[in-house]
Structure 1
Amino acid sequence: MSFCQRYLAPNSWALKPSPSSLAPPEYQRWTNEDMDPVPPNRRTWSTRNYITYWISDAANAPTWQCASSMIAIGLSWRESLAAVAIAHVIIAAVMVLNGTIGARLHVAFPLLNRSSFGFWFSYFSVLSRIILAMFWFGVQTYTGSECTYQMIKAIWPSTGRIPNRLPESANITTVGMMCYVIFWLIQFPLLLVSPQRIKYLFTVKAVIVPLAFIIMLVWAMVRAPPRVSLGPQKSTVAGSDLRWAWLSAMNSALGIYATVAVNIPDFTRYAKTERAQYVQLAVIPIAFTLVAFCGIAVTSAGQVLFNETLWDPTKFIDRAWGVNNRAAAFFASFSFALASIGTNISANSLSAANDMMVLNPKWINIRRGQIICALIGGWVVCPWEILSEAQGFLSFMSGYTVFLGPFAGIMITDVSFDLFSVPLGTTSQIHYSTGLFIDVRWTSRRCTIHEGGIDIGMGLTGAP
């Protein structure tokens, strides 16, 4: 067989059906091995893994930026912290409720989505989730590239003097684009680590990144004590403007992990037991509020020290240590870069890959989906445009919760009314679950999920 026949012919890229796939042969085009229920030997996530996962995911630049950018639009630090805390209490409740069905049935979000929205309409919610994950992938990659710039400049200060050949309207410099390429290349092979093994990266990140954040917080409080930086700090808006600004800020905080709240079954499907994921209800609001406080306190200290609202942590690092303490600048930037990689893998790349599988399981598995996300999310999206100003960043995060909230709400309602336990072989377009709720399937092809396996259309299967 020639090279072209083996690697360039379209059929050579088709995935070979796995003999362990649960779907009947006539339905193989709708599924593949990665979409099967997770077998018992691969259910490896314990309560400790979910704790370290959320501590590591909370410690990232967007959480820091979201809270500190609220100060930039006029809220006080107390109002900003309250917005973050309340938002993540809501998110935590949604995570646990939506994650329960994944931990119980061990199947991915796209399959559960088919059961809630019907076979064909589920593609709309899946596509929406894919697009948002790709946008966030670009944002995290750009944040990581800024950290890469600070690390390179800490080693070679002359990097800061490289002339810019790009126009001002590009909102990125020549050296910025160079660092973006470097970070993307470093990040790419790490995206391909299997979900079962990636938990070890979260454990490492859960130790290194929060420690770096605490060190930055202590430094800021020593240089600008809270009575000086936080004490006098008040909101610069009042009346209805203040109320709308606060609601917008809370909605923006909701937007940070609204995507994961929808597809959390992609992670809870690996839980050893259903109870293992319940710890999210406590760890999410605590971890995210503490990281938000670090961002708020350090940003407020920056206002006192530099007379500037440095809501972007990389800009704060540059102003604080870029010249006088290059070692501190390097390690602080490294921690944010590690945070960006970890979050990109868990919340963006892996989530987008799980969703893309459902679009065409014959051609896309988890690894190929991650590659597609890295290419489109990394290069088609222009994250430097989104992050160019605080208001634009908040608008980006708050805008798409309009779609994700209803998606999660419908799935949670289905769980609450036991609509995932449709009897095998049911073909009616309208079925009754408890007598209190009617679930209408707006499509002739239906997918139902139950504890025995997956029913696609008229294909009846079993699961261990």
Structure 2
Amino acid sequence: MGLKFRKPQLRVEQPKSAFAEGNARWTNRDLDPVPPKDRKWGVSSLIAYWISDAFNASTWQFGAGVLAVGLTWRESVGIVALSFFIVSIVIALNGAIGVFHHTPFPVIARASWGFWGSYIPILSRVILAVFWFSIQTMNGAFTVRCMIAAIWPSFLHRPNHIPASEGIDDVTLGCFAIFWLVQLPFLAMHPNQLRWLFVAKSVVVPLSWLAILGWALGTTRHDHIFDQKATVSGSAYSWAFLSSMTSVIGNYATLSVNQADFSRYSRVSVRWHFMYVPLLPAIFTFISFIGIACASAGGAHYGVIEWDPIALISHWSNRPARFFAGLSFALAALGVNISANSLSAANDLMALFPRWVNLRRGQLLCAVFCWALVPWKILASAASFLNFMSAYAIFLGPIAAIMLFDFYVIHRRRYDTLALYNPEGIYRYRGGVNWRAVVAFLVGVAPSLPGFINSINPKIHVGVGVHPYQFGWLLGFVATTLVYLALTRFFPPVETFIPRAVRPDEIYAAQGHIDGIPVSRESTSGEVEQGLPVEEKQPGARNASPGIISAAASAGL
């Protein structure tokens, strides 16, 4: 019998489901809620994911930015701990929504923003994810360059045929291509398969970095960084402190919005996701200390403080040590580029074009865009653009606030999963846009815009207008929260209020099967509420999903 080859299809697969019925424009197989059999992330996978995500060069360099503004290393460690305590609460709460409904961030955003309004947070995040994927791939190229140079020292001295105006040479371009190719197989994998990458990274990279820390502490008695006094005082000290907090929070502002992209694959109770609150500050603070200690040791040994870890290990005379240290940073760059960038971009592109893009295609498209953006030019000549990308957190703070308070305060954990896939359902709002979210978002962003513009072009002087920007994420988060709560109090979206939450497992159970496997309502009832009580009906609440052919309703739920 001859082999049968499946003809490639331009459109992605969308099997028949209650979520796609009559509204295929808004979903596909990868956007549908994750069925129970595909929820494979347990507690160990979640811990490995965060350890993996934390161990990257950016975390290593957190201390550098704080020391650069005139604070001490002790204050640097404290700022990192406080910043991650704050952002970890937001990450845990927004991530828990993914555990409840097993849907990604772009779908959850429809409840608070409306179907067309959700494009505001989706486009905001996809821009950030694609550009940072490109830049992190460039950083990965530097790790490859370090590793090859350790094996083949003359490699760095090969002739260059690329004009200097291009911002890159033959050697670095070749290393960029190598790291890009290494990423491709992982970009084609499903997130359930990627958890093993995070587990491997969470073992290899921490051990390597602890070894580097051992070198720093074991070979260096003292250094002037550990005796450093703060060089700023008074109001300048306060603004430096707030600015540093914003900078640290900004590095993980994306995950405070899109954690549901990963938590949707969780098979454990939502309570486990609140372990992030003590876990993240501890891990990130420790890694930041490693960076400070190792930079201090480098200053003592080589007469120059190298905050870039690749530049630091390039000073080592031991070539095997340089290679394996470079390998650990390459693995660190690979893991964080997938967890924080490519999968985020894929979910967003999938939500924008669900008929043609799935998770695999979305990640591969992100990789293609990587070349189109020529990140070596960005790094070489566009410092103002990098400031823009770093400052983008002022937009993500308000987005995180709207999603968090809409779910926990406005709707009291009562979303209808089926309605999140129906543009004519209870989350349609007027014209597909929740104007309350848009107004609150604009109010939260507006105070930081003068300082934001100044960070891009320092020639534009804004005077005291720079100060709101210095704590833009916190200001935007709080201001948006107050405005959004006030608007929904005086102009409540009563059509979105339902007597109780409708979880995806109820829909699957009502259909009588999950991917061909028979199930019953009883078999999913324990998972539906995730161990949390169902609230009483709130005043003005309406029935779930009016106008929708609800599988839950057909089951008498």
Q: Work out whether the TM-score is over 0.5.
A: yes
Over the matched positions of the two proteins, sequence identity in percent amounts to 42
**In 2 relative to 1, CA 462–109 (structure 1 residues): closer, same or farther, beyond 3 Å?**
farther
- Equivalent residue letter for 2:266: A
- Equivalent residue letter for 2:401: G
Matched, 1:61 2:57: yes
**In 2 relative to 1, CA 217–175 (structure 1 residues): closer, same or farther, beyond 3 Å?**
same
**In 2 relative to 1, CA 428–370 (structure 1 residues): closer, same or farther, beyond 3 Å?**
closer
Contact in 1 for aligned 2:73/2:226 (Cα 8 Å): no
Cα distance in structure 1, aligned partners of 2:112 and 2:427: 15
TM-score (norm 1): 0.87
Cα distance in structure 2, aligned partners of 1:241 and 1:167: 43
Contact in 1 for aligned 2:33/2:101 (Cα 8 Å): yes
- Partner SS state of residue 196, structure 1: helix
Contact in 1 for aligned 2:115/2:427 (Cα 8 Å): no
Tell me which of 134, 139, 144 is aligned to 1:138.
Answer: 134
Per mean C-alpha deviation after superposition, the further-off stretch among 366-375 and 233-242 is: 233-242
- Partner SS state of residue 188, structure 2: coil
Q: What is residue 530 of structure 2 aligned with on the other side?
A: none
Contact in 2 for aligned 1:75/1:235 (Cα 8 Å): yes
Tell me which of 75, 86, 93 is aligned to 2:89.
Answer: 93
Tell me which of 167, 178, 187 is aligned to 1:182.
Answer: 178
Instruction: Point out where structure 1 has 5 or more consecutive residues left out of the alignment.
Output: 1-5
Q: What is residue 407 of structure 1 aligned with on the other side?
A: 399
Shift of 1:331: 0.2
Cα distance in structure 2, aligned partners of 1:125 and 1:160: 43
RMSD across aligned C-alpha pairs, in angstroms? Answer: 3.2
**In 2 relative to 1, CA 101–35 (structure 1 residues): closer, same or farther, beyond 3 Å?**
same
Cα distance in structure 2, aligned partners of 1:288 and 1:229: 24
Q: What is residue 534 of structure 2 aligned with on the other side?
A: none
Q: What is residue 409 of structure 2 aligned with on the other side?
A: 417
Q: What is residue 451 of structure 1 aligned with on the other side?
A: 502
How many residue pairs get aligned? The number is: 445
Q: What is residue 173 of structure 1 aligned with on the other side?
A: 169
Shift of 1:135: 1.8
Q: What is residue 14 of structure 1 aligned with on the other side?
A: 11
**In 2 relative to 1, CA 299–151 (structure 1 residues): closer, same or farther, beyond 3 Å?**
same
Instruction: Point out where structure 2 has 5 or more consecutive residues left out of the alignment.
Output: 1-6, 420-424, 435-484, 508-543
Q: CA deviation digits over 1:202-258, x for unaligned, max 9?
A: 111001101111111111122222x33543233444444443333222211111111
**In 2 relative to 1, CA 42–438 (structure 1 residues): closer, same or farther, beyond 3 Å?**
farther
Contact in 2 for aligned 1:81/1:289 (Cα 8 Å): yes
Contact in 2 for aligned 1:103/1:270 (Cα 8 Å): yes
Q: What is residue 331 of structure 1 aligned with on the other side?
A: 324
**In 2 relative to 1, CA 34–303 (structure 1 residues): closer, same or farther, beyond 3 Å?**
same
Q: What is residue 309 of structure 1 aligned with on the other side?
A: 305
Tell me which of 489, 511, 514 is aligned to 1:437.
Answer: 489
Contact in 1 for aligned 2:48/2:202 (Cα 8 Å): yes
Cα distance in structure 2, aligned partners of 1:164 and 1:451: 61
Shift of 1:75: 3.1
Q: What is residue 447 of structure 2 aligned with on the other side?
A: none
Contact in 2 for aligned 1:83/1:250 (Cα 8 Å): yes
Shift of 1:168: 4.4
Contact in 1 for aligned 2:28/2:354 (Cα 8 Å): yes
Cα distance in structure 1, aligned partners of 2:66 and 2:303: 17
Cα distance in structure 2, aligned partners of 1:142 and 1:428: 41
Cα distance in structure 2, aligned partners of 1:171 and 1:223: 37
Q: What is residue 151 of structure 1 aligned with on the other side?
A: 147
- Equivalent residue letter for 1:144: G
Shift of 1:47: 2.0
Matched, 1:228 2:280: no
Tell me which of 262, 269, 272 is aligned to 1:267.
Answer: 262
What is the 5 A alignment of 1:236-385? 236-272=231-267, 273-319=269-315, 321=316, 324-380=317-373, 382=375, 385=378
What is the 5 A alignment of 1:66-81? 66-81=62-77
Cα distance in structure 2, aligned partners of 1:106 and 1:76: 43
Larger radius of gyration: 2
Per mean C-alpha deviation after superposition, the further-off stretch among 209-218 and 73-82 is: 73-82
**Higher relative contact order (CA closer than 8 Å, sequence separation 6+):** 1
Q: CA deviation digits over 1:29-62, x for unaligned, max 9?
A: 2111111111111112222221111111100111
Q: What is residue 45 of structure 1 aligned with on the other side?
A: 41
Matched, 1:203 2:199: yes
**In 2 relative to 1, CA 246–301 (structure 1 residues): closer, same or farther, beyond 3 Å?**
farther
Contact in 1 for aligned 2:100/2:503 (Cα 8 Å): no
Shift of 1:422: 5.5
TM-score (norm 2): 0.73
Cα distance in structure 2, aligned partners of 1:439 and 1:460: 28
